[in-house]
Amino acid sequence: SALRAMVAHGGARTGIVPPLLLTLKVLGFLLPFVDANYALGDPAPMCWILDSTNTPIQCPAGLDMDWAPGCGIPSRIFVGVPIHARISLNLTLQTFQQLERLQLNSRTSPNMTGSTKWQRCAVENHPCPADQRDADSCCLYHVNVHSCQNKPGLFCGPWVGDDGHLSTHTPSQTGHAGVDGRSSWDFRVNLFWEGSYTVIAHVMMGAFHFAIGVTTEVQYATSACADPMQVPSRQGVCENCTVGTQPLSQGLPP
């Protein structure tokens, strides 16, 4: 796109910078040679060095993360209605070999080889012991979902803190890459304020971290369906009301 081309080349040469591009440049989360950006609708992961600078880097080869089919974040969800989200994560030996060249396989042992890291990570996915949930003892030591209300000048980066309103985080999970480098992770996402949101899945591994993100609209369910004979479903679409009645004491129909 024209915007992507301008970002890649540092903006227009005229000195006149469009407001959106100015916002992106001021935030400092775009760098040349970094292809993906979920703020611009890219589905591919974004990667950063895990330090105080959160410097963007090209994601290593073999790393792939996506929302699982049927378990992604819909384009519209409803206030107080939880959504079941699942991410699928694929890693390969090549991933860790490339991280070895960047010295990002470990925060305390920068010379850790890709083969060593792969051997530690490529085991059955189960939570790491409570006393071994740090960057070097646990392969995937932080996996969760963040939700940020979209505001001018705000990029929903993984470093944005949880304030319970503009930005919320699900509880963090820990684990391993799976014996073949494939793993999946489930989350319960529940938002309580109307507005446009960016929802990201975030993973910390070694001395870098990465995320994917999508945009969704959060609405009150009472005003979401134009047809009075339809109600919102948990998947973010409208469906016909359940036929029949039952006493309120029996709860809501399934």
Strands (E), the chain: 46-49, 56-57, 64-67, 76-78, 83-90, 140-149, 167-169, 173-175, 182-189, 195-205, 208-219, 230-232, 238-240
- pLDDT tens-digit map of 151-174: 998 899 999 999 988 899 999 999
Q: Is residue 243 part of a domain?
A: no
Strands (E), 29-130: 46-49, 56-57, 64-67, 76-78, 83-90
Tally of domains within the chain: 2
- Residues 20, 132, single domain; the answer is no
- Residues 23, 53, single domain; the answer is no
Phi, psi of 178 (to 5 degrees): 90, 155
- Residues 209, 103, single domain; the answer is yes
Q: Is residue 248 part of a domain?
A: no
H or E segment to which residue 127 belongs: none
- Residues 97, 107, single domain; the answer is yes
Q: What is the tally of helices (H) and strands (E) in the chain?
A: 4, 13
Confidence label for 230 from pLDDT (cuts 50, 70 and 90): confident
Please tell me the pTM assigned to this model.
Answer: 0.76
- Residues 9, 117, single domain; the answer is no
- Residues 128, 9, single domain; the answer is no
**Residue 210 has which token pair?**
């990465």
Q: Is residue 15 part of a domain?
A: yes
pLDDT over 80 at 4, yes or no: no
Taken in order 36, 201, 137, 62, is the CA torsion positive or negative?
negative
Nearest residue to 174 (alpha-carbon basis) of 206, 218, 204, 216: 204
Q: Is residue 245 part of a domain?
A: no
- Residues 11, 65, single domain; the answer is no
Q: Percent of the chain beyond pLDDT 70?
A: 78
Q: Is residue 249 part of a domain?
A: no
Radius of gyration of the chain (CA): 21
- The CATH number assigned to the domain holding 205 equals 2.60.40.10
pLDDT over 80 at 71, yes or no: yes
Cα 61 to Cα 93: distance, rounded to the nearest angstrom: 9
- Residues 45, 142, single domain; the answer is yes
Q: Identify the domain containing residue 41 by its residue range.
A: 34-237
- Residues 144, 178, single domain; the answer is yes
- pLDDT tens-digit map of 24-49: 433 444 444 456 799 889 999 999 99
Cα 143 to Cα 182: distance, rounded to the nearest angstrom: 14
Q: Is residue 231 part of a domain?
A: yes
- Residues 184, 122, single domain; the answer is yes
Q: Tell me, what's the pLDDT at 243?
A: 66
Q: Tell me, what's the pLDDT at 229?
A: 77
- Residues 23, 84, single domain; the answer is no
Between 208 and 19, the more confident residue is 208
- Residues 188, 168, single domain; the answer is yes
pLDDT over 70 at 209, yes or no: yes
